[in-house]
Amino acid sequence: MNRRDFLAGAGGTVAAGKLAGSPTRRQSLSFCDCALQPQAAVPPGAGALASVGSKVRITNLKTFGVTIPGAPPDRPYVFVKLETNEGLIGWGEGTLEGKAGAVLACINDFREFVVGADPIAVEHHWQSMYVHSFYRAGPVIGSAISAIDQALWDVRGKILGVPVYKLLGGPNDPEGVRGYYVANARTLDELKRLRETAQAQGITAFKGGLPNYYEWIETNEKITEAIRHVETLREGLGPDIDIAVDFHAKTSPTVASVIIKELEPLHLLWVEEPCPPENVWAMARIARRVNTPIATGERLVASYGVRELVEKAAVDIIQTDANHVGGITALWKVAALANFSSISMVPHACEGPIGMLASLHVDASIPNFLIQECCGQAVPQVRDKVWEEWFGFPVMRMVNGKYPLPDKPGLGFELTEDALKKYPFAGSRPMARVFHKDGSVAEW
């Protein structure tokens, strides 16, 4: 089947095929006076790579906004479903907090990169989506690429008949992937109860946060309160449970340094995002002045986005998110970059279940993996019930401190559109907008 025949017979995808062009009706790119014109616009999967690719073709791309109860309202899930001429299905996720509408639109902007294409060549499509976006990817484009990339990996795994982690050389540990939950306890009593729960379930690590919003210089009162808060975490959870503390970029390098210096005796597993992410040098300044491991990266896109962090040895842990960094392809590459500089990987994941399951495949196969987030709690929440209803198994629920790995091909789950219909898209909602007492803008 040549490409033209294939598209002609593919019903709803004809329009996309027309836009993408064909060798005989090549799309003209001479709309500008650019000095260097591209030599040819070859649609992915067609033409040049056809003879060395697979026979599978993507026939449709569908996007889904999904709003479930019990999840933060700023992050309705953004899912993408790829359908193929072989009947194989691929699911991916590009949930981006506060920007669901933008990512849904951006995924659709990539439609002609995908429909008609051969799903086996994920790297090729990743490069095309990234490079041919010209301006390079920020979080919206990064999340859209992530969704499509995960879905391509899902299809690829199914074509090749193995779980994705096996395509990546894993698993490192057949029992699964080490994880941690949120320490949803503040008082000493609550924390002590959480410790008992953790010991009963085999949970080995928790993450907490800071109790306030901070200006770029802070008062004695707020700094002292922050230190006491983390000291209470350690006191309640005891010496043998690992504790990470997410500063969530609420602090400046200045304030973070003051606080972390005093937390050193607590031997935290890491301090996360001690300052906002734009200035690598500022992040490095904190890392140079304290001994506690520093983690960052959830807001970064592609290996290009972390290069400077790695080069400057600014941090100990990188936390790119499979839903934003550019999917499995980019998360694996970031891990490679980090590995050569002895930096550990703790992939961020605080959105929907598909991105988290996709993360597990990378986690299970990289040498510098430390632990995987899921933003769940020791006691299952509403979202966990919805996820189990969708997938038919407990999603991101640890057994003896580890998330079990799937053994089905691809990302390792079945999901139907019908399952999602119960939770229609309630629209984009902004992330929390928080302010200091004087009305000025605060980081949260």
Partner 1 sequence: MPAPLNPRLEMVALDAFPVREPVSKRAYTCLRLRTRSGAVGYGECSRLSPVDLAVLRGAVQGKEASSFESIRRGLTASSAGLAGLDMAMLDLVGKFTNAPVYQVLGGPTRNQARALARLEGETDNGVVLAVAQARAAGHRAFLIPVPATHSPNHSATLVNATRQRLDRVRSAAGEGSDFVLDAAGKLTPGDASSLAAALERSHLLWLDEPCRLSNLTAAYRIASENVTPVGFGRFATEAGVFQNLLRNDAIDVVRPDLALHGITQSRRIAAVSEPYYVAVAPFHDGGPIATAAALNLAASLPNFFIQQVPFAADEQDRRMRARLAGDATETVKDGFLQLPRGPGLGISVNEAAFTEYRESEP
132 is known as an active-site residue: no
Question: C-beta of 227: minimal distance to partner 1 in Å?
Answer: 9
Closest contact distance (angstroms) between CB of 435 and partner 1 is 9
Residues 234-263 that bind partner 1 (CB under 8 A): 252-254, 257-258, 260-262
The contacts of residue 249 (CB under 8 Å, 6+ apart) are 273, 274, 275, 276, 277, 443
Among 18, 136, 288, 422, the residue binding partner 1 under the rule CB under 8 A is: 288
Write down the least CB distance from residue 251 to partner 1, Å: 9
> Looking at beta carbons only, is 50 or 266 nearer to partner 1?
266
- CB-nearer residue toward partner 1: 21 or 276: 276
- What is the identity of the amino acid at 232? T
146 contacts 322 by C-beta, under 8 angstroms:
yes
x-marked contacts with partner 1 along 290-329 as a string, rule CB under 8 A: x---------------------------------------
What are the start-end ranges of the H helices in 1-109? 3-8, 14-20, 100-109
Q: Which is nearer to partner 1, 144 or 260 (CB)?
A: 260
| Least spacing, CB of residue 341 vs partner 1, in Å | 21
Catalytic residue among 125, 132, 229, 248: 248
Of positions 289, 408, 421, 422, contacts partner 1 by CB under 8 A = 289
Cα–Cα separations (whole angstroms), residue 219 to 36, 86, 309: 57, 63, 30
Question: How does strand 77-84 pair with strand 89-93?
Answer: antiparallel
Other C-beta atoms closer than 10 Å to the C-beta of 248 total: 16
Query: Is residue 249 within 8 Å of 273, Cβ to Cβ?
Result: yes
Nearer to partner 1, 54 or 254 (CB): 254
Contacts 24+ apart (CB under 8 A), 414-421: 415/91, 415/354, 415/390, 415/391, 417/62, 417/64, 417/81, 419/389, 419/390, 420/64, 420/66, 420/79, 420/390
Q: Reply yes or no on whether 248 is catalytic.
A: yes
Residue 265 in the binding site for partner 1 (CB under 8 A): no
Number of chain positions touching partner 1 (CB under 8 A): 32
Tokens of 4: 């033209």
User: Using the rule CB under 8 A, is 408 a contact of partner 1?
Assistant: no
Helical (H) or strand (E) element with 434: strand 434-435
Binding to partner 1 (CB under 8 A) within 150-169 occurs at none
Interface region with partner 1, contact rule CB under 8 A, candidates 22-30, 355-363, 415-423, 433-441: 433-441
Give the active site residue among 124, 229, 267, 348: 348
**One symbol per residue from 203 to 222: x for binding partner 1 (CB under 8 A), - otherwise; what is it?**
------------xxxxxxx-
Q: Which region, judged by CB under 8 A, interacts with partner 1, from 25-33, 88-96, 104-112, 283-291?
A: 283-291
Which residues, 6+ apart, have CB-to-CB distance to 284 below 8 Å?
312, 313, 314, 315
Q: How far is CA 323 from the centre of its chain?
A: 3
Instruction: Return d(Cα 143, Cα 233) in angstroms, integer.
Output: 33
The structure tokens listed for 439 are 């009305």
Tokens describing residue 374: 């899921």
Q: How many CB atoms lie within 10 A of CB 103?
A: 28
H or E, element range at 318: strand 317-318
Position 35: which residue type? A
Nearer to partner 1, 87 or 265 (CB): 265
Structure tokens at 358: 């996709």
Does position 279 interact with partner 1 (CB under 8 A)? The reply is yes
Looking at the Cβ atoms of 258 and 294, the one nearer to partner 1 is 258
Start-to-end CA span in the chain (Å):
54
Six token digits for residue 191: 């924390």
- For residues 62, 68, 74, 79, the Cα torsion angle rounded to the nearest 10 degrees is -20
Q: What is the DSSP letter of 71?
A: S
Q: Does 433 bind partner 1 (CB under 8 A)?
A: no
Q: Are 350 and 381 in contact (CB under 8 A)?
A: no
Nearer to partner 1, 194 or 223 (CB): 223
Nearer to partner 1, 37 or 224 (CB): 224
Q: Which of 33, 196, 240, 278 binds partner 1 (CB under 8 A)?
A: 278
**What is the 8-class DSSP label of residue 179?**
B
Which parts of this chain interact with partner 1 (CB under 8 A)? 215-221, 223-224, 252-254, 257-258, 260-262, 275-276, 278-279, 281-282, 285, 288-290, 436, 438-441
Residue positions annotated with a catalytic role: 248, 348
